[in-house]
Structure 1
């Protein structure tokens, strides 16, 4: 993870409180960095609304990047998404440009259908990680492990 962008989703239970919540997120990022023996701490972006995620999807689409939305009702699997990751990696090798891959993980209440439709409409790809529905706290790390393997980035 290079950047963490908190998202206040439609179904988010916890509410972002600038000054308090960002301090807690920074503490978690610093502790995770230390525990994993990384040499840099991921950047903490500003909290965004669902409109902000749509903007991220559109910007990624314009730059030839990839946004992956994890959703329990998606019809595509992670295996399908790996084809998009491979195509992105090929483009990077061919033109020498690096491109970001963004993973969107919803709140414990799930991502609303309106949000999923807006993200996909803005260019995101939606997938399910498997037959079992994972909690939000587990889905992100699982997706990041799979993504690290797919792009062969282990550090």
Structure 2
């Protein structure tokens, strides 16, 4: 069933909701919705409901709330993917697929071997584009929230934020060389032991992924000094747009989101 994310203001009390602008156009012109047809609507934070169309035009769709629905599709672990800015449209792929899998937030940042030239003047337009991709992917995946895409950070700003998380993993290809280093599962076992077997409620995790050229040794040491655990993702070298997706999947599997717990 089609799902739309709307602002809280578009819910009119407990009984009705409005779709406007692009969502209304999509519902009427693309999905061909007519009176009586149902869809799912969410405010992206605390409410999900089943709604039925009462009036429909390409400018606005008015619908009545049929039933309040439980927010069941979000992972118990909130994973933020910190992605060093890749070239081209690779960040769009990371956001799209990461949202589908279950990422909670995306934190793009600048690193030493980053290939793309960061242009702050284009940031607002780029963030708008990334936010739209996250919204569309969240609708497709039937998420209850739309993952936030944060403004681009500096390397220092990223490492300063590590202490805000219950666990931070720094993905480093040298740690995975020959599969002899510490992997994601090893790091999670250590973390669970350090918590005495009792993990925090709704733990916050940070997954740090490097650029096409990889991280420098200095960056690895800096991240570790800031509290991150350096891990490998196997003995194969992954593309930057693949690493975050693989790491996120590993984490959510270990969290039991895919039947792994």
TM over 0.5: same fold?
A: yes
Aligned mate of 1:40, from 145, 154, 178? 145
Kept after mapping to 2: 8 A contact 1:85/1:150: no
Where 1:148 maps in the other structure, the secondary structure is: helix
Aligned mate of 1:84, from 190, 215, 221? 190
Where 2:245 maps in the other structure, the secondary structure is: helix
Q: Cα distance, 1:78 vs. partner? A: 2.2
- 5+ unaligned residues in a row in structure 2: which ranges? 1-102, 176-180
Greater displacement, 72-81 / 9-18: 9-18
Q: Cα distance, 1:85 vs. partner? A: 4.5
Aligned length: 147
Largest Rg, 1 or 2? 2
Kept after mapping to 1: 8 A contact 2:111/2:211: yes
The separation in 1 between residues aligned to 2:207 and 2:254, in whole angstroms, is 14
Residues 13-67 of structure 1 deviation map (CA, whole Å, 9 limit, x = unaligned): 222532122122212212321232212110122211110121012333xxxx100
Q: TM-score, normalised by structure 1?
A: 0.84
- 5+ unaligned residues in a row in structure 1: which ranges? none
Kept after mapping to 2: 8 A contact 1:89/1:151: no
The separation in 1 between residues aligned to 2:145 and 2:164, in whole angstroms, is 25
2:136 equivalent in structure 1: 31
Where 1:90 maps in the other structure, the secondary structure is: coil
Kept after mapping to 1: 8 A contact 2:184/2:251: no
1:73 equivalent in structure 2: 174
The root-mean-square deviation of aligned C-alpha atoms, in Å, is 2.0
Relative contact order (C-alpha < 8 Å, sep 6+): which is higher?
1
Greater displacement, 3-12 / 14-23: 14-23
1:103 pairs with 2:207: yes
Q: Cα distance, 1:90 vs. partner? A: 3.0
The separation in 1 between residues aligned to 2:228 and 2:135, in whole angstroms, is 29
The separation in 1 between residues aligned to 2:209 and 2:133, in whole angstroms, is 17
1:6 equivalent in structure 2: 108
1:22 pairs with 2:127: yes
Residues 81-122 of structure 1 deviation map (CA, whole Å, 9 limit, x = unaligned): 2313434593336xxx43311101111121122211110011
Please state which structure has a larger fraction of its residues in helix. Answer: 1
Q: TM-score, normalised by structure 2?
A: 0.52
Greater displacement, 38-47 / 128-137: 38-47
2:51 equivalent in structure 1: none
Greater displacement, 69-78 / 7-16: 7-16
* Gap change, CA 1:35 and 1:84, over 3 Å in 2: farther
The separation in 2 between residues aligned to 1:58 and 1:82, in whole angstroms, is 17
